[in-house]
Amino acid sequence: MSPSVLQRIASGDSAAVRDCIEQYGALVWSLARRLSRSPSDAEDATQEIFLDIWRSAGRFDAAQGSDKVFIAMIARRRLIDRLRKTSAEPPMDPVETLEAVAWADPGTASETSFEAEQATRALAELRPEQRQVLELGLLHGLTQSEIATRLQMPLGTVKSFMRRGLIRVREYMNVDAQRVLSEG
């Protein structure tokens, strides 16, 4: 198996940085735009995320998942940290614009990544209002309290939906990972 772009960066591959920006720039930019308070904030966040990627490439473990999910994890950590520090500022998107993103149907996400396919399969089992909570929290960066306000839903319900959704996706990923390991 050829090394991933992160493994190549860690080993000093001279083309890996360019390849990483090419392959994952859109992913990082997409996450940054959604989870930032302003366009300029998204640009700053993107640069910080790539700096985190350069610093963290050596810690990537292919046995724990794809490089794409590793990069998404790094990006989300940075973006959540930035959001938390600027939580007093209003979100970039107005209230009425935060309800449209629908989830990919199971079977169509495998081109994105193995993990995305697992996630969409797990999400397909959730009720629409549960998916909406995950969408607002994980794709738009709203806090659980903000979601409760937006959806006029008790905070406890929001927490419960978020909890069940993440646990369900986690179960799918771990089961599949164990199956892969056992078959390997």
154 to 183, contacts with other proteins by CB under 8 A?
159, 162-163, 165-167, 169-170, 173-174, 177-178, 181
Cα–Cα dist 22/6, whole Å: 13
Q: What is the DSSP string of 82-125?
A: HHHHTTTSPPSS-GGGSS-PPPPPTTSSTTT-HHHHHHHHHHTT
Q: Provide, rounded to whole angstroms, the least separation between the CB of residue 99 and other proteins.
A: 6
Taking CB under 8 A as the rule, does residue 153 contact other proteins?
no
Cα–Cα dist 95/136, whole Å: 11
Q: SS3 sequence, 25-81?
A: HHHHHHHHHHCCCCHHHHHHHHHHHHHHHHHHHHHCCHHHCCHHHHHHHHHHHHHHH
| Closest CB to other proteins among residues 14, 152 | 14
Taking CB under 8 A as the rule, does residue 77 contact other proteins?
yes
User: By CB under 8 A, what part of segment 27-56 binds other proteins?
Assistant: 27-31, 33, 39, 43, 46-47, 50-51, 54-55
User: Which of 36, 120, 148, 151 touches other proteins (CB under 8 A)?
Assistant: 120
User: By CB under 8 A, what part of segment 79-118 binds other proteins?
Assistant: 80-81, 83-84, 93, 96-105, 108-109, 111-113, 115-118
Q: Provide, rounded to whole angstroms, the least separation between the CB of residue 25 and other proteins.
A: 3
